[in-house]
Amino acid sequence: MLEENKSNSIPLLGDRFPEMEVLSTHGHLSFPKDLMGKWTVLFSHPGDFTPVCTTEFVAFAKMAPDFKKINTQLIGLSIDQVFSHIKWTEWIHEELGVKIPFPIIADGMGTVGKTLGMIHEKKGSDTVRAVFVMDDKAIIRLILYYPQEVGRNMEEILRVVKALQFASANKVAMPANWPNNDLVGDHVIVPPAKTEDEAEKRRGKKDCFDWWFCHKKVVAKKK
């Protein structure tokens, strides 16, 4: 059962993932309970047995160990039924030699897709290529929407999860293309000055272009 969305709006950044019970290829899942303790990449695809979606699932499967290393689970979703998901993943394994290690939600009625804004009427009744990234407290940290005709870049999704985790752990902001930014390399952006005195102290300092634009090297903590 899906909890009623009283505001009739899709979740936004900073919201807790809505409560829902779903069926998947790995059995029953209960959200947000099953999201707690790990970061999560929940992604929807238009349909099983479609070429672009197949390339995406193969790419996600091959990178699943990389996501696991950063305590992140992958969960797929489409409006197809469980039996279709199972048959499709069997085909991928048998014909392409890739085993899909993550669960795929069967949203046959489209209830989950509509709640999360994954179904866009102008693109038909299928789910578009949406991506929701949740942190280990089930808080939505990133939302991406791709049209049906364009496949996603999994390297970028992995990069942005790493960036979100690093920013959260170190209370900093991440520059464009981190960790390979044209201006600051693998440095991160220091939070802006909050007082005139603090701004004055930053003037002329190394690793500051100006008082409002400072960066620094932060070494990731070993776990």
Which CATH number is 71's domain given? 3.40.30.10
Find the catalytic residue in 35, 41, 53, 79.
Answer: 53
| Residues 110 and 77 both lie in one domain | yes
Residue 190's domain is classified under what CATH number? 3.30.1020.10
Does the residue 6 lie in any domain? Answer: no
Q: Count how many domains the chain has.
A: 2
pLDDT (average), residues 114-135: 82
| Residues 63 and 113 both lie in one domain | yes
Does the residue 121 lie in any domain? Answer: yes
Whether residue 211 is predicted with pLDDT greater than 50 in this model: the reply is yes
pLDDT (average), residues 39-45: 96
| Residues 183 and 119 both lie in one domain | no
Whether residue 124 is predicted with pLDDT greater than 90 in this model: the reply is no
> Cβ(75)–Cβ(103) under 8 Å?
yes
pLDDT, position 3: 41
pLDDT tens track for 184-208 = 999 999 999 999 999 999 998 999 9
Does the residue 124 lie in any domain? Answer: yes
Identify the domain boundary among 105, 123, 152.
Answer: 152
Does the residue 120 lie in any domain? Answer: yes
Does the residue 211 lie in any domain? Answer: yes
| Residues 113 and 148 both lie in one domain | yes
Which domain covers residue 184, as residue numbers?
Answer: 171-223
Burial of 193 (0-12, 13-18, 19+ CB in 10 A): middle
Tell me the average pLDDT of the chain: 91
| Residues 139 and 50 both lie in one domain | yes
Residue 53 annotated as catalytic: yes
Secondary structure (3-state) at 220: coil
Does the residue 54 lie in any domain? Answer: yes
Half-sphere exposure of 164 (CA within 13 A, CB side): 24
Under the banding of pLDDT at 50, 70 and 90, the label for residue 122 is low
Under the banding of pLDDT at 50, 70 and 90, the label for residue 168 is very high
Whether residue 127 is predicted with pLDDT greater than 80 in this model: the reply is no
Whether residue 125 is predicted with pLDDT greater than 70 in this model: the reply is no
pLDDT, position 4: 38
Q: How many Cβ atoms from other residues are within 10 Å of residue 162's Cβ?
A: 20
Structure tokens at 147: 């049209």
Distance CA 51, CA 21 (A): 29
Comparing 73 with 112, the larger pLDDT belongs to: 73
> Cβ(151)–Cβ(131) under 8 Å?
no
> Cβ(181)–Cβ(173) under 8 Å?
no
| Residues 92 and 137 both lie in one domain | yes
Whether residue 223 is predicted with pLDDT greater than 80 in this model: the reply is no
Does the residue 166 lie in any domain? Answer: no
